[in-house]
Amino acid sequence: MSHAPSSLPTPVPPSPTGSLRSFAVTAFGGTARVPGDKSISHRALMLGALAVGETEIEGLLEGDDVRHTAGAMVALGATVEPGTDGGPWRVRGAGVGGLTEPDRVLDMGNSGTAARLLIGVVASHPITCFFTGDASLNRRPMARVTAPLERMGASFVGRAGGRLPLAVIGTDHPVPIEYRLPVASAQVKSAILLAGLNTPGTTTVIETHPTRDHGELMLRHFGARVTTEILVGGALAVSVTGQPELTGCRVRVPADPSSAAFPAVAALLHPGAALTLTAVGVNPRRTGLYQTLQEMGADLRFENPRIEAGEPVADLQIRGSMLRGVDVPPERAPSMIDEYPVLAMAAACAEGTTRMFGLAELRVKESDRLAMVAHGLAACGVAVETGPESLFVHGTGHPPRGGGFIATAMDHRIAMSFLVLGTVSAEPVTIDDGSFIETSFPGFVDLMNRLGARIETVSEAGP
């Protein structure tokens, strides 16, 4: 049933597709399913590799980011059989503590999630691994992960800030810790909990603001003992009991709410639009954008709610709406950190000013997203103000002029956000390179165009 490890396709960096240009359209809508949730896809592959027996994963995101994770799990001793014609992927795991030292560098491509989580996984194994990524990933900080993992006994050799390329020297005597997150980060939380799987005793992460809990839900789905306790003051203590036997299981990955945000916002900005996005993950720690859009006046509803593999899922019904500016509080940031760029596009078309606070984390994503959004909106005729952790977008109640040429800095969310803006702006919006969209949303342009957008390749990029 399982292929040999060497059968897994090796991810390669996407080749530039050239510049993409988005034109205004008069109609947008229909029914679609966006690709599987990236956060859940990464975790399903990793826990499948740490489980005993076979894990079947339906709806796995098949973008480059996730394929890099799959390749890394094969290098660490798991067997992975890719799905065919959209069918389920199958993973045969090595068991907790059973990963083996890879004979090659683990290339994580563009994925900070994959890199940080997998560093946690291997930190409590007595093996040495070398991590690298593309130019964007190698600029992103890893010290926030390596600092707590050093307390558990692992060692690291890397560039300033713990940046990749990074050598991880796992420990054969991991020590459980209690760690309070200095900055809200689901990636850091998951990395510590994953390291705690192969650590005797109880490993605990304390978070002041709740972050995505996909890791906790997935761990429980595979049979780990994970508890969550509300502390005095409202902080959460999330604990995992080490050295369980995880059991291979069936995982159905919901459609990614972060990916759904792009067609959803496009529909909201088109008067008369009606769009249905099916089987979208609606984990309450991921729906901050949709709450904010509803506060702005969006006609957006969750229909047919259900639970799949421990995750809440629903169909999103979106209709074109007149939006108004609102204040987005800083405590909402963990539930929508990836969606601020596309929210800014909605804000540019809303009536009044939308003020977003608590955005420091945007400075250290695939790019400095706060600066990229501000510069891009300004180039499209939108009045904006930025602070160290804030973004104010002054909307006029109408789509902006557009016409900007957007340098994306290899950031897929910046690219998709401005292509959404181009579907309503008076002049087309052009991005310098759309190739990195495929890392998280394969088929984005085709899906958007099927729904009514007009996004075209430009043979020569340039202002």
Interatomic CA distance for residues 382 and 374, integer angstroms = 9
Residue 7 domain flag? no
In tens digits, the chain (463 residues) has pLDDT values of 333 333 444 333 333 457 999 999 999 999 999 999 999 999 999 999 999 999 999 999 998 889 999 999 999 999 999 998 889 999 999 999 999 999 999 999 988 999 999 999 999 999 999 999 998 899 888 999 999 999 999 999 999 878 999 999 999 999 999 999 998 899 999 999 999 999 999 999 999 988 989 999 999 999 999 999 999 889 999 999 999 999 999 999 999 999 999 999 999 999 999 999 999 999 999 999 999 999 999 999 999 999 987 889 999 999 999 999 999 999 999 899 899 999 999 999 999 999 999 998 887 666 689 999 999 999 999 999 999 999 999 999 999 999 999 999 889 999 999 999 999 999 999 999 998 898 889 999 999 999 999 999 997 544 5
Residues 259 and 236 in one domain: no
CA 156 to chain centre: 25
Domain range for 73 is 38-251
Residue 413 domain flag? yes
Provide DSSP, 140-187. S--HHHHHHHHHTT-EEEESGGGPSSEEEE--SS----EEE-SS--HH
Residues 198 and 328 in one domain: no
166-169/128-132 β-pairing: antiparallel
Residues 246 and 272 in one domain: no
| Structural domains in the chain (count) | 2
251, 276, 299 — which closes off a domain?
251
220, 251, 282 — which closes off a domain?
251
Residue 231 domain flag? yes
Domain at 281, CATH number: 3.65.10.10
Residues 135 and 77 in one domain: yes
**DSSP state, residue 91:** E
The pLDDT value given to residue 18: 78
Residues 268 and 368 in one domain: yes
Residue 285 domain flag? yes
Residues 159 and 271 in one domain: no
Q: Beginning with the edge strand found earlier in the chain, give each strand of the sheet holding 454-458 in spatial order.
A: 405-406, 429-431, 19-23, 454-458
Amino acid at site 416: M
Per the CB < 8 A criterion, the answer to whether 444 and 416 are in contact is yes
Residues 391 and 259 in one domain: yes
Amino acid at site 33: R
Residues 67 and 150 in one domain: yes
Interatomic CA distance for residues 371 and 391, integer angstroms = 9
The pLDDT value given to residue 184: 85
Residue 320 domain flag? yes
CA 205 to chain centre: 21
Residue 186 domain flag? yes
Tell me which of 65, 338, 411, 433 is the catalytic residue: 338
Residues 324 and 201 in one domain: no
Q: Beginning with the edge strand found earlier in the chain, give each strand of the sheet holding 383-387 in spatial order.
A: 327-328, 351-357, 390-396, 383-387
Find, among 402, 405, 445, 452, the residue nearest to 427 by Cα.
402
The pLDDT value given to residue 365: 66
Per the CB < 8 A criterion, the answer to whether 1 and 90 are in contact is yes
Find, among 310, 320, 264, 309, the residue nearest to 287 by Cα.
264
By three-state DSSP, how is residue 241 classified? strand
The pLDDT value given to residue 5: 34
Interatomic CA distance for residues 431 and 421, integer angstroms = 11
251, 285, 306 — which closes off a domain?
251
Judge whether 134 counts as a catalytic residue.
no
The pLDDT value given to residue 461: 47
Joined tokens for residue 268: 């909201």
Does pTM surpass 0.95? no
Residues 336 and 442 in one domain: yes
